[in-house]
Structures are given as C-alpha cells and as structure tokens.
A and B are shown apart, each in its own frame.
Chain A
Amino acid sequence: MDDSKHISPPADQPASESRREFLHTFSLAAPLLLLGLRISAIEALAAEPDAAYNAREHYYGMGIDVSKCIGCGRCADACKNENDVPREPYYFRTWVERYVIGADGETDVDSPNGGIGGFASKIPEKEILRTFFVPKLCNQCTDPPCVQVCPVGATFATEDGVVLVDNDYCIGCRYCIQACPYGARFLDPRTHTANKCTFCYHRVVKGLLPACVEVCPTGARVFGDLRQHNSPLARFTRFNKIMTLKPHLNTKPKVFYAQLDEEVR
C-alpha cells in the first residue's frame, strides 16, 4: 500500500522551489519565526476570494507538536466560539487531554471541560515519569469510517480532504458517531444532527487558518496544504517523525502528531 500518499499527495511544484522557500525561511532570525506564521495568516486574509477557490488544488491536514502544547485550552475555547459549539462540557470539536504517567507505569488522563480554561495543577501523589498535553480533534481521515457508514451520505469527504456533515440531510441516526474511533463526533442537541470539526472549512476556503491554529500561543498546531511543498504543514511533516492516532485501524488520519507518546489513544 502506498503509505506516502496520504501524507503528501501528488505535488505539482518542483522540489527545488520548496527548498529555496525553506532556506529563505530559515535565514530569518529565530524570533521572527513565530511571527512568520502570523504573517502568513495576515497574507491569507488578503488572499483570493471564494469564487476563485478550486477544491482540487488543495488537500488539507494538520500537524500537532505535542511537545509545544502547554494545555492552555485556548484552541478548544476558540473552536466553541468560532463554530457555535454547545457550551456544555460534553460537546467538543476539539479538546486537550492531559497525560500524567507515573513511575509505576500507571497513566492518568483527564480533560476537564475539554481543557477550556486550562488544567488546575494536581499535587502528585506519586513519582511522575513524564507528563504532557495532547490536543485532539477530528483526524479528517483519508479513509473515514464515518463516511463509510452514513446511510444517506450526509457525511462526506470534500475534494480538498475535509470530512463534512450536511445538516439538511443528516437523519440523526448516530451511526457515524459509533464508527469514529476517535470520539470526534457528537450529536448537536439543537439540530439533532451529527457535528464535528470541519478544519474551520468556512475560513479555510477563504485562505484563513482554522480558529484553533490561529489562537494557539505556542504554534503547537500547524495547518496547511499537503499539495504545496512549501506549506508550513509540508515542512512540519518533513522535519518531524510523524505518528497518527490508532494507525492499526487504517483510517489514515490527516492530523499528524510529532513527539506523540505511545500512551496516547
């Protein structure tokens, strides 16, 4: 099976160009690196309007650097604001998990209110081996089981690689929620239809970044286009060892984790 396919779909740009782009970025002074991300977002604001958008030219994914996440939960909060996600603590399009692995090998995971408002520090009762935060969201699987099971085709994958739900079509059978291995879906109690992360599709097609990426203060989340060799995401997947969640299920996630711990499921 061609595993490289879901990481980098056929690119039409020559490799040399991306290398040049990379060197250019690298030559910038270190503090400017973070700013660079911002600038790309601002540039995007002024980008092409909707009409010129051609889904075929894009293929989106997200990179998450686990070692950069500080568990502030701003992403989960921004997502709820941006996408009008119900405020109750059991509906999330994205959330942050805290892992505390003790010296005895026991792993303790929590995600109070999805991490919104951060994590109150706990007094450790035992020796801690390692601890870290993991942002979670819909993996926008390349082979999404949720799409496979939807009886009416209300859940579908777009050409640019985002899995969406058609609200006017969903019959609310919840089969997709059962089929998602990652707990990424919920039934919106107001519309009685399935709901999940869209990569902020409404923003992305305008060239904007997803809200969670936009607000992340440490740049732990990297959004980008896998079809473009010089996109931040393409760089992310080039310079990190990448892991995806539950790879044995063969869903081929397009959310790529760097520095992921084996305890994360």
Chain B
Amino acid sequence: MDPLQEVLRQVTGYIYPNEVELHWGLLVVVYPYLTGLVAGAFILASLVRIFDVKEVQPTYRLALLTALAYLIVAPLALLAHLGHPLRSFEIFLTPNFHSAMAMFGFVYAWYLMVVLLLEIWLDYRKDMVLWAQKETGLRRWVHRLLTLGANDISPNALRFDRRASRFITLIGIPSAFLLHGYVGFIFGSVKANPWWSSVLIPVVFLFSAIVSGIALMLLIYFLSTLLRAKPVDMPCMDKLASFLFYALVVDFSLEMLDFIHRLYEAEESIHILSQLVFSRLFLSLIILQAFLGTVVPLVLLGSVSPALRRKGILALPEELRRLLYAGAAILIQIGIFSTRWNVVIGGQLFSKSLRGLTVYKMQLMGLEGLFTSAFLLLLPILLLLLLIYILPPWPESEQHVEAPAGD
C-alpha cells in the first residue's frame, strides 16, 4: 500500500492535508545528535586544557580526534536529506542571511578550519616532526606532509605552539557553544511550531550535547584502553563520571524547567502537546529519554562516582565501578538520541492546526532510510580509527624533544 495512505489511516483528529507527509526524518535526527557529540567532546577537551584538569589529560587528544571524526560526518546527514544535494553549494554562494540554516555553512567552516583543525595541528606538530624523523615509508611521508613544512621544534617554536593552541581553545569553547546552540536555534526559532519554539531549546541542546560528549569520551576511552590491553586510569574514569554527573544534573534541570514552564503557561497548544507526549512519544520520551536516559544514569553516577562523596556514596570495587560508568554512558547515549528524536520527529507528529496527531513511518532503504542513518552513525567510528592510526593520541606515543629522537 502507498505509505502515505497508510499514514492517513493512523491519523487521529484533524491534520492539514499537506501534513500527511513528514518532512524531516531520521537523518535530521542524526544530524543534531552528531553535532552534539562534536560540541560535547570538544568542550570536554577544552576544559582539560583551560582548567588544567590533570586526571582527564589522557582523553585530551582522543577527544579532539573524536570531535573531528564526528564533525566530518555530521553534514553528510544534512546533505543526504536534501531534495537537491547537488545544489547545496548555493548555501555558500547566495546565502540568505536571515536564515538560521544558511548560517550553518559559516559556523561549520569556522569551527572546522579555524578551531578544530588548527588546534589539532598545533597540538600534534612537534610529534609529527619527530615521528617523521623516526619513521619510514608512507607514514613518514604522511606525517611530513601534515606538518606543512613547519619543522621548527626549538623551545621557542614549541612555546609559541602552546600559546597559540591555548588561544584557539579559548575561541574554541564559544565556537563549540555556537555550533550546537545554533543547531538548537534552527528548531527553537520556528514560531509556527509550539513544540520547538522556545528560547530554552538552544540551551537545552547545548547541555545535552555536553552530556553526550562526555559520555562518549568515557566510553571511547574505556574501550580503547581495554582493546589496547592497557590498565584503565581509574582517576580519569572517576573524574569523567563526576563531570558527567554534574552536566547531567544541569541538563535535567533545564529540561524540567522547560517542561514546567510549558505546563504552567498552558498555551493553546498544551492539549495537543500533552496528547503527543502521552501517546506518540511515550516510549521515546518518558521511558527512553527521561527514565532510562536521565534518571537511571543520574542515580547510578550519583551513588557510585566521587561526584557527591569522595569515595562515592556506594563504595564499589574499581572493576564494578567502571562497568557501571560504561553502562550509564551507554544509557545516556540512548537517552540523548531519544532527545533528538523527540525534538525532531516529535515536533512533526502533531498538526499545526493543533487538532490531530500523525505518525512517522520509517523507511529501511533509500537515502532517508534506516540503513543510511545507521551507516552515518558508524562512519565517525571508522574515521576515528583512521585518525587514531595516523595521529596516535596515546600518552606513550607522545614524543619528547629532550630525549634525542632516534633516526
């Protein structure tokens, strides 16, 4: 049967005829999820840098590379959902400066070129020079190429690197806020849609981004040490878990504020929105986002991590503790993905006539289908592996100028 006909059967109440087709599908869910991870991972790395949090140092480079991998993939999700992907360059050529979406190109380019690539380059330059001296074959050439000919590793040059990199980090934090806050603005500024239209949306997006970024780094750090058969740095895990807890508390408070505010104001949309929450979004919002994705991790992290008490409210052995951390981080990822789903899909499941609800029929195949999205979620991991191969982020691969580099 015609999929749209099928939707028509499941509509309750009245929706405008043109609303039978849902316009932003799974890909547009994936997009803010990915950029959120970028912003979150980068903000974590920056905090390490600026506030000099020693414990989390082992995740610094890993977080930068992760942010880069996810940043490269994020626009692919947007591109794939366009009706005319080949015309997308028009966003750069003739942008409409009133459009939040048109600004994407500039925010993105700024963040990629000025912030992330430069910071990674500055951080790795010394190592790349030294690696290139030691290595042979392709790796040598790749590293040599990546230094862009800047081979000076005198103490003066290195001091400059450090200072420049610190400066970039300082610009980077507001840029990361901008990147994801702006994604929230794309939705928050649509006055036609009462589910989206809220000043809080960009802020909520931002904090959920930080939460998802820290959770992701915790997972990646944990898995990478296990896979490399290295001892897990427990102070690092504990610190990450505490950060995660604090960020989650802020995120949760903001979400509750938004919720209470809507309930209290009780605008004309309140009836249809509460119907939406308790019927179409029950699983993804109440169960996945609120309960499994927020409350359970809050309780887990709050009781086990040193966030509230130095030894944790429940003092557990290290092995168990880090497993619980990883479990909480996975739940948080599911929760944040549901958050994006609830915003993007949820915002289209009710009619702007405020009189009815529709459904979303996910496709499996095709550019907008489940498989494309799954691929786009997997792709950053593959990219990250490649980046790790070229630029090993591990402490033991770091080079020191003092020790004469063997040739």
Q: Which residues of A contact B (CB under 8 A)?
A: 88-92, 95, 97, 107-111, 114, 136, 145, 147-153, 169-175, 177-187, 191-193, 249, 265
Q: In this assembly, does B139 line the interface, its C-beta being within 8 Å of a C-beta of chain A? A: no
Q: Select which of A147, A150, A171, A185 is within 8 A of B83 by beta carbon.
A: A171
Q: Is the CB of B191 within 8 A of A181?
A: yes
CA A193 – CA B87 in complex, angstroms?
11
Which B residues are CB-close (under 8 A) to A92? Answer: 17-18
Measured between C-beta atoms, what is the minimum distance from B313 to chain A in Å? 45
Are A149 and B99 within 8 A (Cβ)?
Answer: yes
- Given A172-B82, A187-B83, does the pair A178, B18 have CB atoms closer than 8 Å? no
Q: Tell me, rounded to whole Å, the shortest Cβ–Cβ distance linking B136 to chain A.
A: 47
Q: Are B101 and A151 in contact (CB under 8 A)?
A: yes
| In the complex, per-residue mask of B1-39: 1 if CB is within 8 Å of any chain A CB, else 0 | 010100010000111111111011000000000000000
A183 with B84: CB separation less than 8 A: no
Pick the contact of B90: A90, A149, A169, A177 (CB < 8 A). Answer: A169
In the complex, residue of chain A having the shortest beta-carbon distance to the beta carbon of B88:
A171
The answer to whether B21 and A180 touch across the interface, beta carbons within 8 angstroms, is: no
- Please state if B21 and A110 are interface contacts (CB–CB under 8 Å): no
Structural contact, B87 and A150, CB atoms closer than 8 A: no
B351: CB under 8 A from chain A? yes
Return chain A residues, CB-CB under 8 Å to B19. 183
In the assembled complex, the Cα of A181 lies from the Cα of B352 at a distance in Å of: 6
Give me 19 A-to-B residue pairs in the complex whose CB atoms sit less than 8 angstroms apart, sorted by A's number. Answer: A89-B17, A95-B17, A107-B355, A147-B98, A149-B101, A151-B99, A151-B101, A151-B102, A152-B95, A153-B96, A170-B83, A173-B81, A175-B99, A175-B186, A178-B190, A179-B192, A181-B191, A184-B18, A265-B352
- Which of A136, A171, A249 gathers most chain B CB within 10 Å? A171
B84 touches A174 (CB 8 A): no
The answer to the question of B104 belonging to the interface, with a C-beta cut-off of 8 Å to chain A, is: yes
Contacting residues, chain A, for B94 (C-beta < 8 A): 152-153
In the bound complex, what is the Cα–Cα distance between A95 and B15 (angstroms)?
12
Which chain A positions have C-beta within 8 A of B8?
Answer: 89-90
Q: A148-B98, A153-B94 are in contact. Are A177 and B23 (CB under 8 A)?
A: yes
Residue B353, interface by CB 8 Å: yes
Q: Contacts A174-B23, A192-B83 given: A151-B96 contact, CB under 8 Å?
A: yes
Alpha-carbon distance between A193 and B85 when the two chains are bound, in angstroms = 11
Interface size on B, residues (CB 8 A): 43
Given contacts A90-B8, A149-B101, A173-B101, whether A114 and B191 have CB atoms under 8 Å apart is no
Are A249's CB and B96's CB within 8 A? no
In the complex, what distance in Å separates the CA atom of A170 from the CA atom of B82?
10
Q: Which residues of B contact A95 (CB under 8 A)?
A: 16-17
Q: Known: A90-B18, A114-B17. Is A145-B192 also a contact (CB below 8 A)?
A: yes
**In the complex, which residues of chain B have a beta carbon less than 8 angstroms from the beta carbon of A184?**
18
Instruction: Provide the residues of chain B in CB contact with A178, threshold 8 Å.
Output: 23-24, 190, 192-193, 348
Beyond A136-B16, A265-B355, 11 additional pairs, beta carbon < 8 A: A95-B16, A151-B102, A152-B94, A171-B85, A175-B101, A182-B16, A183-B15, A186-B18, A187-B23, A187-B83, A192-B84
Q: Which of B18, B91, B95, B353 contacts A91 (CB 8 A)?
A: B18
> Is B100's CB within 8 Å of the partner chain A?
yes
